[in-house]
Amino acid sequence: MTRQLPSLNGLRAFETAGRLGSFKRAAEELNVTQTAVSHMVRLLEKRLGYVLFRRQPNRLELTAQGQAFLSGLTDAFDSIARLAEQVAAMRAGPVLTVGVGPTLAVNWLISRLPSFYRAHSDVEVRMATGGATRPVRDDWTCTIRRAASAWPGYTAEPLFDSTLVPVCTPALAARLRRLSDFRNATLLVVSHLPNEWPCWFKAAGMEIPVRHAGEVMFESNAMAMQAVLDGVGVAIAQLAYVSDALLSGRLVAPFPIAAQTSEAWFLQYRPIRQEEPALLAFRSWLHVEAERQRNVEAKLLKRT
């Protein structure tokens, strides 16, 4: 069915005059004459079959129909303007959607993306929330996740190990001279990862459960990482989450012990996507960054 729409010029003239309360001011905004605005509004009223303005000597007064029409019309023009801005902001190049957990994204991936954009300015990277507790979506180009193996139907390319280390601020580390000092420490625990501390304690040769001064539970790694940076306590962390903070000195690994889990970090994608230009570029760049990460981790563990 064909839309029967009034003249767009008439609608613009009416909306501008109604919003500004003046044909003269509307003419100035639209860069036309005042007579032209008045004429377009009269033609619109004739087309609609009802009066939009009561013309007073020095002002315009909206009729009831005019007031109702103006409200919806202004919203419609605002929506069109927003849509035009959104479309103008769209990039013409290839788009890559990567599913990644928020903690790895914030603490590792995002800070490294500028180097990808410098080499591949035509590729738009979109991040979707992924991770161990969220399913992989078919519309993602790829996903970076910690796992023991590939998801069914996916190709998995290893990036770096899943390595656990306890970390804290330098001030708290000064009080952790011996493993027994954990009895005076507050441990930060992620609720859906209850085995990470026991995994590290076992690697350290300590009895489980370990008595400690207190425990603070968080629902996500991201919250626990912020808490450890704020000095709330000692966190057990994936080395990838904290390598930048360890290099900068914001955090310290107080003991020379790391625990390797049975998992690893992988780039995963469906085989049907493997020749997509955006994924080819991202894979190549990501493996270079993963090699750098492995080298950094080796140096950090040696230093620790």
Q: What is the mean pLDDT of residues 245-273?
A: 92
Phi, psi of 256 (to 5 degrees): -80, 50
Q: What average pLDDT does this structure show over 76-90?
A: 74
Does the pTM of the predicted model rise above 0.85? no
Paired tokens of 203: 């690697």
Question: Residues in the chain, how many?
Answer: 304
Lowest mean pLDDT among 13-27, 37-51, 202-216: 202-216
Per-residue pLDDT at 301: 79
Give the mean model confidence (pLDDT) for residues 241-251: 93
Chain center to CA of 18: 40
- pLDDT tens by residue, 29-71: 888 898 988 999 999 889 989 999 988 877 888 999 988 888 8
Residue-averaged pLDDT of the chain: 87
Contact 23, 60 (CB under 8 A): yes
User: According to the model, what pLDDT value does residue 291 have?
Assistant: 96
* Closest by CA position to 101, among listed 279, 252, 282, 224: 224
The CATH number that domain 95-159+263-303 falls under is 3.40.190.10
Q: Which residue has the higher pLDDT, 155 or 151?
A: 155
Q: Which pLDDT belongs to residue 132?
A: 53
Same fold, 95-159+263-303 and 162-262: yes
What pLDDT was estimated at residue 206?
Answer: 83
What is the architecture, at CATH level 2, of domain 8-89?
Orthogonal Bundle (1.10)
Instruction: Please tell me the predicted confidence (pLDDT) of residue 56.
Output: 81
Boundaries of every domain in the chain: 8-89, 95-159+263-303, 162-262
Architecture of domain 162-262: 3-Layer(aba) Sandwich (3.40)
Mean pLDDT over 134-157 rounds to: 84
Whether residue 197 contacts residue 258, with contact meaning beta carbons closer than 8 Å, is answered with no
pLDDT band with cut points at 50, 70 and 90 for residue 137: confident
